[in-house]
Amino acid sequence: SGKTAAFVLPVLQVLSQDPYGIFCLVLTPTRELAYQIAEQFRVLGKPLGLKDCVVVGGLDMVAQALELSRKPHVVIATPGRLADHLRSSNTFSLKKLKFLVLDEADRLLEQGCADFTADLEVILEAVPARRQTLLFSATLTDTLKELKSLATNRPFFWEAASEVRTVDELDQRYLLVPEVAKDAYLVHLIQTFQDEHEDWAVIIFTKTCKDCQVLNMMLRKYNFRSIALHSMMKQRQRFAALAKFKSSIFKILIATDVAARGLDIPAVQVVINHNTPGLPKIYIHRVGRTARAGRKGMAITLVTQYDIHLVHAIEEEIKLKLQEYSVEERFVLDILTQVNVTRRECEIVSVES
């Protein structure tokens, strides 16, 4: 949708009039997204000689502190690591900041399993009161609505007008499967896509890091070129996995929701939800990884007998009925026992390692 350019271009325009260091801070919930945003700043800011600095966890803090002390024009960070720097050193200052951007603002501001509140408080104390704050999100949550109503200076608010919450080019399907046969259906789907469209790239979303790891091991046993991406991996492994998928070395990416937000991988033709997302907004972010920038794409959600109510909630939110995806069951039944045995073997190996 061009969300990143919507804040990168105005920031660069104002920066060009009076360039100085640390001019803009961009906060984002995931490390991968931080690097993607930095890439956009570099491409669009090259004529200005833009200096940027990415501050995320999993990488050397000393090297990051050195970069921050050199006063880059733009800092792109995850809240946790930037707050760590602010607590532990005074080699840089955010007091002259003109812009504070919260990308995926709903995720940054929501309270839950990954609560950024304490880190955001540290950061907000370090930035000046007189600044322009920009919040961007693909989904408007109650938190953002509340923030809009609390703001004292009548903020500018813009929402893309659309009756449907997902794009027209996206073919959205569901596949009703018994819980015990879910993996066999997945293997059959992947095999079908690879037989019919050898060059297609597929992202499979899973609920947990363990599921992600086990599914990756299982698909590799069936000689599918897959790679995993989840938050338990070391940061360099995560970057490497994403780079290999983007460059088509691997055609299948199995990921947790760490990859559901903002990541722009142009060539993804299919998104498969191995689990039905518990929240409609998670579904919207996941399926948004395909059918990007006017391209066509397909999203298939594997739905068990326990997930029907979740599908109804998703349909209500996106204002669209999901169509059933038809599969010949006999092909799935042929591989069911073998797939379940392979899954069990992979689970045992996963526990041992």
Q: How far apart are CA 98 and CA 120, in angstroms?
A: 17
Per-residue confidence (pLDDT) for residue 258, from 0 to 100: 82
Phi, psi of 343, rounded to the nearest 5 degrees: -60, -45
Query: Quick check: 73 pLDDT over 80?
Result: yes
pLDDT greater than 60 at residue 6: yes
pLDDT reported for residue 75: 98
Query: What are the C-alpha distances in Å from 295 to residues 12, 255, 318?
Result: 28, 22, 19
Amino acid residing at 32:
E
Across the range 163-168, mean pLDDT stands at 72
Q: What does the DSSP 8-state code read for residue 224? A: -
Cα four-point dihedral sign 138, 139, 140, 142: negative
pLDDT digits (tens, 9 = 90+) for 120-129: 999 999 999 9
User: 34, 131, 142: which is closest to 80 by C-alpha?
Assistant: 34
DSSP 8-state code for residue 167: -
How deeply is 346 buried, as exposed, middle or buried, from its count of CB atoms within 10 A (0-12, 13-18, 19+)? Answer: buried
pLDDT, tens only, 297-307? 999 999 999 99
pLDDT exceeds 90 at position 76: yes
Q: Which of 272, 172, 174, 266 is nearest to 219 (CA)?
A: 272
Mean per-residue pLDDT, 144-173: 74
Closest CA to 143 of 187, 179, 105, 86: 105
Q: Most confidently modeled of 133-147, 150-164, 243-257?
A: 243-257
For residue 3, name the pLDDT band (cuts at 50, 70, 90): confident
Q: What is the pLDDT of residue 164?
A: 59
Helices (H) and strands (E) in the chain, counts: 13, 12
CA 124/CA 147 separation, integer angstroms? 15
Within this chain, domains 3-150 and 170-352 share the same CATH topology = yes
Q: Which residues contact 334 (CB under 8 A, 6 or more apart)?
A: none
What pLDDT is stored for residue 156 in this prediction? 80
Alpha-carbon distance of 63 to 86, in angstroms, equals 15
Instruction: Report the candidate in 241, 257, 245, 162 with the shortest Cα–Cα distance to residue 200.
Output: 245
Cα separation, 39 vs 8, whole angstroms = 11
* Burial class for 219, CB neighbours closer than 10 Å (0-12, 13-18, 19+): buried
Task: Tell me the CA distances in angstroms from 311 to 9, 141, 208, 260, one per residue in order.
Answer: 38, 19, 20, 18
Read off the DSSP letter of residue 325.
P
Over range 209-227, report the average pLDDT.
Answer: 96
What CATH number should be reported for the domain whose range is 170-352? 3.40.50.300
CA distance 41 to 25: 12
pLDDT score for 248:
93
Written as one letter, the residue type at 348 is: I
Domain map (residue ranges) of the chain: 3-150, 170-352
Rounded average pLDDT over 148-158: 69
pLDDT for res 107? 87
Interval 299-323 mean pLDDT:
96
User: Mean pLDDT lowest for which of 11-20, 223-232, 253-262, 300-309?
Assistant: 253-262
- Would you call 312 helix, strand, or coil by DSSP? helix
Percent of the chain with pLDDT over 90: 76
Average pLDDT of the chain? 91
Closest to 46 measured CA to CA, from 88, 7, 74, 78: 74
Alpha-carbon gap, residue 252 to 225, rounded angstroms: 6
What local confidence, expressed as pLDDT, does residue 1 receive?
56
- Give the tens place of pLDDT for each residue, 275-297: 999 999 899 989 999 988 788 99
Specify the CATH number of the domain 3-150.
3.40.50.300
228 pLDDT exceeds 60?
yes
Q: Give the model confidence (pLDDT) of 236-276 as tens digits.
A: 999 899 999 999 999 999 999 887 776 778 789 999 999 99
